[in-house]
Amino acid sequence: MNNQVLASPIQHTYWKQLNNNSQKSFDVATISAVFDGTLQAQDIKVCLQKLLYGVEILRTHYHLDELGALWQNISSEVAVNFIELNWQHLDEIQIAEQKNNITNELKSCGSSTPWHRVVLADMGDTCWLYLELSGINTDAFSLNYLLDLLLSAGNGNLKQSLERLHEDIIQYAELAPWLADFLLDDDLLDARAFWTKDKSIAGLQQPFSLQRYMHASTIESSTRQYSFASVELGDVFDHLDSYASQHQATVAEVICASLRLSLTKYSKEASLARVFDSRGDSTLAEAIGPLSRAVPLFPDVSDSFDIAVENERDCSALAIDYSECFAKEHAHENDGFTFIFDSIDRPSGSAATIEQVAYFPEAFKLQFMLITQGNATRLQLTYDSDFIDEQALNYFLTSCKSNLVDHIQGNKISPPPSYKAMGKQVTTGNDVTVLKSFERALNIPDAAVTQVGGDMASLSDINASANRLAHYLIGTGIGKGDAIALCLTRSIEFVIAMLAVMKTGAAYIPIDVELPVQRINTMLQDAQAKAFICQGDFSIEGCQAIDYSALELGRYDITTPDITIGSDDLAYILFTSGSTGKAKGVSISHKALLNHMNWINQEFSFKPQDRFLQRTSASFDASIWEFWSPLLVGGTMVIAPSEINYEPSLFRRIVSEQHITRMQIVPSLLEVMTEDSFDGYEHNLQTIFCGGEALKMLTARRAQSVFNCEIVNLYGPSECCIDATFWRFNERLITDFVPIGYPVNNLSCRVVKENGTEAAKGESGELQIAGDSLFNGYYHQADLTDEAMHYCEASQINYYKTGDHVRVLADNNLMYLERLDDQVKLNGFRIEPDEITMLVLNAGLAEQAKCIFSASSHNLSLFIIEAKASATEIMQMLKSVLPEYMVPHQLIEVETFPYLSNGKLNKRALADWAMEHSSAGYVAPGTEIESKLVVMWQELLNISMSIGTTHDFFAIGGHSLLAMKVVNRITEEFDITISVRVLFEHKTIAELAAYIEPLTLLADVVESEDDEMEGGLL
């Protein structure tokens, strides 16, 4: 016959995947077995010679023609590659090393030459037989069949083995056109339609919650290939076989049904592709060559395992009938199914036991290979080591077997060990408060607090002033159990007041003086503040004012007040947004504060030489450690002006000139600050801490590149004293967002699923936190405190329910997913939209109201029904009581709210209405500058609506950080320099273009004059 034949569709698909995944060692297929007894090497060699002579596919190699068609080339003869080894003198460890060396010698033979290799090793009482073939020339059945022939020949049955190789054996080259007809014959259109495009695509690139979230290490990558693991099933085989018989199913179908159920825990829409061959016809029962292919199979996964097995059995029958008619669409030919299942059947009484099979019909991620051999039955897993690591894989395999046993025995599924992570358990020594650590730092030279462009004071001077102020406060009746507000700007005076209040035994309440007076008034009333410290003329109704600037502190004692403070006494009270219509006071004890500060100072080796940037508003918990770390380690606190948060050039200058080594920043601001490189600015940064919102991997990677320092992702609600978990950024990270990591010292975490049970690895649920950093409760709001806590009877531990949905990664680190309620983080600000809703309703300004946050437009919209006041009056009321970042960007009056079929409010529809409302009144750009600004806004805001010249930047999703990006782009595009404040004052494109135009004209004139001067000099 012709020695050149078109390849089959199966070979063509294999070729495409082989050449698209050349870094993987699946161009060869192997099988190995251990035989009890002695094998005759010469007989095996004779059998191998006969095989090579009689089976053309073993002598086949391939080439592509100029049209891209793949051809089989059948060589007339090939040399026998047979190796005989003597391992009788080796121990078990040495034998394992020899096997490993042989299997790792996998030749990258490609497909341009036929390849085979047989190794026979005599181990004394047993023998090891290893067969290796070109992967494109075989399948799992063929490997098993050929190995069986060689074993039989070596076991004294050479004649019988040779008789099975009769002259009229069906050659694979004869089958290739037949296999192609299934994909071309018009009479089989209905059969091909069985495999819908959706089914094929659904099996590709499936997520798996136990998969790697970081690239393998450099060492692992350098030797990267598929790896193997297995779980023994011999101990349950009799139960398996019996169960399969009772349900008229095969053992393979029972195991597949169980695997599908196991996979759904880690991949919601997991699709397990099955490998079927075309040997159903008796004439093809012993055909050798690639007659198997993986097909996407989607039986219904039922909670009843009996029904799941029936579904698997029925689906398998259909797949067997239609498997030859399956082909992936052209766009996905190179893509392999994520999960595939194949099987090999061996006689239960065989003297040979299959050890390992390496056959790769697809560029898969996980391949389940069931090797049925009686009491030696096992499930082998071949896995892409770039997809999942060994530890996670073994965890998954153990879970699979446990589930299988429970399924076939009718037991309730045993849950895997639940996730419980506990930070290092350390003691605080004799310290009860952070004040003792602060006092030890007073002896460190050069320890100081400095204000950029202002005063500087040593810690010793600050301590002396704090002691004097504390004595003054004590003299006014302030002491333990009291709450004192600090209505001061971030300054040296703030630090003195903070220390002084704590030295009296009272708790301090940091207040942002930029907040509306009415909101400050409400917070101090809720906290029952005994007094507030301010500077100058500042008054709060019903609360004693202490004007720091008017005090004559020199009159008071410089020694530390003799006050005994308990670990459970309050250190500070911090107000956050609340869903009831007013802010909640989070009360933090000295024990909690001391625990956090000890952790962060020790974990990151803070030292006196460090210079800490203090840039966060004092009313946010992220500022707490910015104040306390330098005070406790004797470093330098650099208090930056608030303008640093929206002026990138000022940020760069301060970080450089002040030699900052440690700083904290919200991820969205970090993204803006790293848009431009730090060229021209030297810096001393050692660590950048991120928190307040999800940190994008690309932002962290960019920051690490720009600053060449460590990036740390911090996570923690205010209720857990600043930070509860942390993760040091690793450049090998491959997820879109950076994990939130592992608990800090003396904190424990658990994750609770929707059904109330604790999550295990790979599962997700609500993060709950317990330990030394937990808050004492919401100040004077016991009901809210009770709602936020969950007492675990089993462990007798009180957990704080964060409301954050997280996933447990394979290594027990945590990944933040989303909020479980309506709470949002907007540029690091924690906002409860329901607080805004309740303010409107409680004030009687509308019959119904609902405030929502739209993730797409990144803003707040307030919807009202039957307004009782004008839109202007409602917005004025909200501005009088809310911080600027909580004021809705737009107010929309509607006749009714949209609802889902389950009766819940349709928030997605409201978000769409908000976008439509924003885009109303489109006015096209009329000048070149306006056109350029429209393009700029459209790109940065990333919204679907068409932006016009009259749209308010902040009403369509703009915010301060995006404003900084706009200013950066304006500088690049028009070669002019403007402040971010310009955009706050000129909020539409028309207004902004009118402001920019004269500046661009002036810039052109200056450039022209410079050119003329340069020409004159020349």
When pLDDT is averaged across residues 184-196 and rounded to a whole number, the result is 84
Q: Give the model's pLDDT for residue 73.
A: 94
Measured CA to CA, the distance from residue 338 to residue 323 in angstroms comes to 18
Q: pLDDT confidence of 22, banded at 50, 70, 90?
A: low
Average pLDDT over the chain reads: 89
Structure tokens at 792: 């675990």
What is the token pair recorded at 157? 């049955």
Inform me whether the pLDDT recorded for 316 exceeds 80: yes
pLDDT above 60: residue 221? no
The stretch 887-900 carries a mean pLDDT of 90
What domains does the chain contain, in order, with CATH numbers? 4-178 (3.30.559.10), 181-409 (3.30.559.30), 434-803 (3.40.50.12780), 832-917 (3.30.300.30), 928-1014 (1.10.1200.10)
- Among 209-218, 497-506, 948-957, name the most confident range: 497-506
**Residue 57 carries which DSSP code?**
G
Whole-angstrom distance, CA of residue 500 vs CA of residue 493: 10
pLDDT at 895 over 60: yes
Q: What pLDDT score was predicted for residue 542?
A: 79
pLDDT for res 121: 97
Cα distances (angstroms) measured from residue 581 to each of 26, 833, 837, 839? 62, 9, 7, 5
pLDDT (average), residues 906-916: 86
User: What are the tens digits of pLDDT across the range 434-445?
Assistant: 999 899 999 898
The pLDDT of 266-271, averaged and rounded, is 82
Residue 68, pLDDT score: 87
Residue 661 pLDDT class (50, 70, 90 cuts): very high
pLDDT in tens, 672-728: 888 776 677 889 999 999 998 999 999 999 999 999 999 999 999 999 999 999 999
Kindly report, residue by residue over 37-96, the tens digit of the pLDDT.
999 999 999 999 999 999 999 999 999 999 889 999 999 889 999 999 999 999 999 999
What number is the average pLDDT over the span 625-633?
Answer: 97
- Give the model's confidence band at 356: pLDDT under 50 very low, under 70 low, under 90 confident, else very high: very high
Containing 876, the helix (H) or strand (E) segment is helix 871-881
Looking at residues 491-516, what average pLDDT do you find?
Answer: 95
Give the confidence band of 465 by pLDDT, cuts at 50, 70, 90: very high
Element (H, E) at 819: strand 814-819
pLDDT computed for residue 107 by the predictor: 55
Q: How far apart are CA 772 and CA 981, in angstroms?
A: 43
For the stretch 510-547, pLDDT in tens is 999 888 888 899 899 889 999 999 998 878 877 899 99
Q: Which two tokens stand for residue 74?
A: 């059948």
pLDDT of residue 220: 47
Question: Can you give the length of the chain in residues?
Answer: 1018
What is the average per-residue pLDDT within 189-200?
A: 77
pLDDT average, residue stretch 149-159: 94
713/821 Cα distance (integer angstroms): 23
CA distances from residue 150 to 40, 120, 376 in whole angstroms, order as listed: 10, 10, 20
Quote the tokens at residue 483: 């709450």
Mean pLDDT for 229-250 is 94
Average pLDDT over residues 207-227: 71
Residue 557 is predicted with a pLDDT of 93
Give me the mean pLDDT over the 826-839 stretch: 86
